[in-house]
């Protein structure tokens, strides 16, 4: 297949590029490096089936070439520090970027996948969160630039499916970790792993709020399986194993350096109290469940931090 991926230099985007190239597909990556990393592009530049376009998809996608089979829209800052640093850009890539990606898919008769997020559920009042839950979101708080951008992107994707016949998919990604996350990502897994490797105290914001963590290979497998079926409603992809942030800090500490101190700071505004996916749809539709246990995934992530992946 000929697959275009926006956000190809990002954490998840780069793993998708690698998976598809290894399967023999042709991949066109698009990124502007607001939150992506150039090294995630440089890994693939020598591959004969990879082509890179540096562009801001909010302004357009300057693709010319063979007809596309898929457009995967993964472009967007995704961690609170990044989308709060670039709130307007985050809103625009969710709105105009999604529009341009959908138009590209429509012109090529390609199928389309939107990377949405568990953040569409906000600070949920339903637990765990099924796809049928409409969420409990602050529409104008400090996280709203990301939450509302993704909610709008979902609405636009479904509208293109209903009114223009685009063959669409929507995934709602829950907390995901693994190699190639930015050191300054700011999300809890990266913070804890980097602090532990540097021998620094682990900083816990709040501590009793819960999260569920899936390894990136599990997410990529779910994405590939969803591409192989026809289903247009959103699908949760996440690990239903739930931990408090404090328990998670203790796991990191115990696996790296049991002598590390844990320090506490106040919880950020609008930080969800609990987050856990209901993966019934993915289980029934895709025969998918996460396969990588947390301890194994963390070991892989630490090893990759010490020994980065060589170019393909």
Residue range 242-289, pLDDT digits in tens: 999 899 889 889 888 899 999 998 887 777 888 899 999 999 999 999
The b/e string for 210-233 (b: 16+ C-beta within 10 A; e otherwise) is bbbbbbbbbbbbbbebbbeeeeee
Residue 265 CB-density burial (10 A; 0-12 exposed, 13-18 middle, 19+ buried): exposed
pLDDT at position 311 is 65
pTM of the entire predicted model? 0.93
More confident site: 41 or 197: 41
Confidence of residue 113 (pLDDT cuts 50, 70, 90): very high
The count of structural domains within the chain is: 1
Confidence of residue 222 (pLDDT cuts 50, 70, 90): very high
- Identify the H or E element spanning 5: strand 2-6
pLDDT at position 63 is 98
DSSP secondary structure code for residue 200 in this structure:
P
| Strands of 168-173's sheet in order across | 50-54, 26-31, 2-6, 70-73, 111-117, 168-173, 234-237
Contact 53, 63 (CB under 8 A): yes
131 located within any domain: yes
194 located within any domain: no
64 located within any domain: yes
- Identify the H or E element spanning 302: helix 294-306
270 located within any domain: no
For the stretch 50-106, pLDDT in tens is: 999 999 999 999 999 999 999 999 999 988 888 989 999 999 999 999 999 999 999
Mention every residue, 6+ apart, whose C-beta is less than 8 A from residue 140.
none
DSSP structure string for 75-121: -S--SHHHHHHSHHHHHHIIIIIHHHHHHHHHHHT-EEEEEEEGGGG
pLDDT at position 217 is 98
Q: Is the pLDDT of residue 42 over 90?
A: yes
DSSP secondary structure code for residue 248 in this structure:
H
Indicate the SS3 state at residue 219: helix
Any idea of the CA torsion for 99, 104, 106, 110, to the nearest 10 degrees? Answer: -130
Domain containing residue 53: CATH number: 3.40.50.720
pLDDT at position 15 is 98
300 located within any domain: no
Q: Which residues are catalytic?
A: 146
Nearest to 277 by CA among 231, 242, 225: 242
219 located within any domain: yes
Contact 77, 119 (CB under 8 A): no
Output the six-digit token pair for 70: 């898929």
For the stretch 157-200, pLDDT in tens is: 999 999 999 999 999 999 999 999 887 877 888 888 888 888 99
Q: Are strands 210-212 and 242-244 parallel, antiparallel or unpaired?
A: antiparallel
Rg, C-alpha atoms of the chain? 19
Nearest to 7 by CA among 32, 26, 43: 32
Nearest to 242 by CA among 267, 274, 273: 274
Nearest to 236 by CA among 223, 255, 250: 223
Q: Is the pLDDT of residue 40 over 80?
A: yes
Domain that holds residue 223: 2-180+214-239+276-292
More confident site: 207 or 203: 203
Give the Cα-Cα-Cα angle 121, 127, 128 (nearest 5 degrees): 85
pLDDT at position 7 is 98
């Amino acid at each position: 297949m000929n697959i275009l991926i926006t956000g190809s230099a990002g954490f998840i985007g780069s793993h998708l590029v690698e998976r598809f190239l290894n399967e023999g597909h042709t991949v066109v990556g698009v990124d502007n490096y607001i939150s992506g990393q150039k090294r995630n592009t440089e890994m693939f530049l020598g591959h004969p089936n990879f082509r890179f376009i540096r562009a801001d998809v909010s302004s357009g996608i300057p693709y010319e070439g063979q007809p596309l089979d898929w457009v995967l829209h993964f472009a967007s800052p995704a961690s609170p520090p990044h989308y709060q640093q670039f709130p307007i850009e985050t809103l625009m890539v969710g709105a105009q970027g999604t529009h341009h990606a959908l138009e590209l898919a429509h012109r090529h008769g390609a199928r389309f996948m939107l990377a949405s997020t568990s953040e569409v559920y906000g600070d949920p009042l339903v637990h765990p969160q099924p796809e049928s839950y409409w969420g409990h979101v602050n529409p104008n708080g400090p996280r709203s630039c990301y939450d509302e951008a993704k909610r709008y992107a979902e609405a636009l994707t479904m509208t293109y499916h209903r009114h223009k016949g685009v063959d669409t998919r929507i995934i709602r990604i829950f907390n995901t970790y693994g190699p190639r996350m930015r050191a300054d990502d700011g999300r809890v897994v990266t913070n804890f792993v980097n602090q532990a490797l540097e021998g620094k105290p682990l900083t816990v914001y709040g501590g009793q709020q819960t999260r569920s963590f899936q390894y990136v290979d599990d997410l990529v497998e779910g994405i590939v399986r969803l591409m192989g079926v026809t289903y247009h409603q959103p699908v949760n992809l996440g690990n239903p194993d739930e931990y408090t942030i404090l328990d998670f800090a203790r796991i990191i500490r115990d696996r790296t350096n049991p002598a590390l101190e844990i320090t506490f700071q106040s919880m950020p505004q609008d930080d969800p109290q609990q987050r856990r996916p209901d993966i019934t749809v993915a289980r029934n539709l895709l025969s998918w469940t996460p396969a990588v246990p947390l301890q194994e995934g963390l070991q892989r992530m630490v090893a990759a931090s010490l020994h980065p992946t060589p170019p393909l």
